[in-house]
Amino acid sequence: MSDNNLDPSHLETLDRDLGRLSTLEQATAYVSRPMMGTGIALMFVVFAALIAALIFGQADNTFIVVVAAAFGAYMALNIGANDVANNMGPAVGANAMSMGAAIVIAAIFESAGALLAGGDVVSTIAKGIIAPESMGTSAAFISAMMAALLASALWVNLATWIGAPVSTTHSVVGGVMGAGIAAAGFAAVSWGQMSAIAASWVISPVLGGLIAAGFLWFIKSNIIYRDDKIAAARKWVPVLVGIMAGAFSAYLAVKGFKKIVKIELPMALLIGLGCAVAVWLIMIPVIRRQSVGLENRNKSLKVLFGIPLIVSAAMLSFAHGANDVANAVGPLAAIVQASVTGDFTQAIEIPLWVMVIGALGISFGLFLFGPKLIRMVGNQITKLNPMRAYCVALSAAITVIVASWLGLPVSSTHIAVGGVFGVGFFREWDTERRMRKSKQKITGLPELAPEERRRRKLVRRSHFLTIIAAWVITVPAAAILSAGIFLVINGISLG
């Protein structure tokens, strides 16, 4: 039949069929994206297991190490998907960088931090929570570390799926604690260490939130609410960037380079002070040059905070990689050492191949699954701009330094998200305060209705409650899951 003889009804049917095919293609593409990410993640887990098999060859405990390497790779993927979002979320939410740029910068600096400066905190992860001697045998210790690794990875995976940024440090701590209790009873746990960690649940986010709110108040009072905003910015932005440089220098000296050189806190603070003064002097002409021709409005100020915010996000990623890679590879390194030497009570050395698995896993996890949590932290809790995001990043560095001085174990996740909450709640309070002042000047204005007050809330309460609930149950949930997995592993080995 020629085209000229086609019935119009046939053409309509053909259009409908083609429309269905187009819809089917879109649906297939939508479904295949998560499947592709899962497929690549699975390939990486298999790759990590193969590397372990090649290195150990025909050794007695090769199978155990291969399985542990797969679990460690799975945990590293989940750290990249969940934890790294806290460093990049504010910068992306403030439109200081694109999602793609954030992922590339985070992957580079997380890997550099893990490989150059990571590994010093592994003994705390593996031994500070439970007494290894209480395990009795290396087989029980290995089973406990395997259970802790798998349980913490599963919990972080679940938290990422529901959109809750949780502490991977606390997940591993809960996993180690649960397996230790299942293996050797409650006496095996260092309850003093656990009490300090429990205290950090409250101290970390509150301190991070207060510091972030304090800096936002300073920026609003001294720059944003001034008549000549550009002149105020020329005076105070170099000071703020200098404070940031000093804070990160001290942060990295205390936490980031332990593997290379041991620096005590007083010396780290002196290094930070020197860097702060140097950067302040350098930034004075830079900010003066950047501010030429800018209009006297808030939008212009965002330009001046853009580059410092990107640098701070990169530095946070480096420090995070240096510290939190231990969450993925700490139990794995303990398993490798116990399998090779049979000794599980001495200090733990991390083989290079184990660190590479941790670093690559974090980068892959961020690339494949990180955008969901980056959007959550950057956009969905409260609205961020470069000034607010800068306050969050700065509070993270300062809070870690203060916590180190107080000797408190803290979570980078809790600090960063606490900073976002602090900025949001401060904006609510400040907006309400300024509205009250306006009403006092202009009498006769009606009170806001309850619905209007709810609409003006600047922190989304549903996300706030979900995240707080996830934080509270992280350690007990990971502990219960780990204890169950330990009993299963132990039952299989005995069988």
pLDDT band with cut points at 50, 70 and 90 for residue 363: confident
Q: Which of 222-231, 406-415, 434-443 has the highest mean pLDDT?
A: 222-231
Question: What is the DSSP secondary-structure string of 396-458?
Answer: HHHHHHHHHHHT----HHHHHHHHHHHHHHHHHHHHHHHHHHHHHHSTTPPPPPHHHHHHT-S
Placement of tokens 């996993």 in the chain = 175
Residue range 307-343, pLDDT digits in tens: 888 888 887 788 777 767 766 777 888 888 888 777 7
pLDDT band with cut points at 50, 70 and 90 for residue 442: low
pLDDT at 119 over 90: no
pLDDT band with cut points at 50, 70 and 90 for residue 31: very low
Distance set, CA 254 to CA 217, 249, 266, 321 (Å): 28, 9, 10, 14
Distance set, CA 107 to CA 104, 183, 237, 254, 439 (Å): 5, 37, 28, 22, 50
* φ and ψ at residue 189, rounded to 5 degrees: -85, 140
Residue range 445-470, pLDDT digits in tens: 455 555 445 545 678 888 888 888 88
Q: What is the mean pLDDT of the chain?
A: 80
pLDDT at 384: 86
pLDDT at 212: 92
By the 10 Å C-beta count (0-12 exposed, 13-18 middle, 19+ buried), 452 is classed as exposed
pLDDT at 347: 61
Distance set, CA 188 to CA 37, 151, 185 (Å): 39, 19, 6
Tell me the CB-side half-sphere exposure of residue 416, using CA atoms within 13 A: 28
Q: Which residues contact 93 (CB under 8 A, 6 or more apart)?
A: 375, 377, 378, 379, 383, 384, 389
pLDDT at 131 over 50: yes
Stretch 414-422: mean pLDDT, rounded? 88
State whether residue 130 is helix, strand or coil.
Answer: strand
pLDDT at 184 over 80: yes
Q: What is the DSSP letter of 189?
A: B
Q: What percent of the chain has pLDDT over 70?
A: 81
Enumerate helices (H) and strands (E) in the chain, giving the number of each: 16, 0
Q: What percent of the chain has pLDDT over 90?
A: 20
Stretch 89-116: mean pLDDT, rounded? 84
Lowest mean pLDDT among 22-26, 57-61, 192-196, 309-313: 22-26
Query: Cα–Cα distance between 38 and 365 in angstroms, integer?
Result: 10
Q: Which residue has the higher pLDDT, 449 or 270?
A: 270
Tally of CB atoms within 10 A around 234: 17
pLDDT band with cut points at 50, 70 and 90 for residue 189: confident
**∠ CA 125-361-131 to the nearest 5 degrees?**
15
Placement of tokens 């030429």 in the chain = 292
pLDDT at 265 over 70: yes
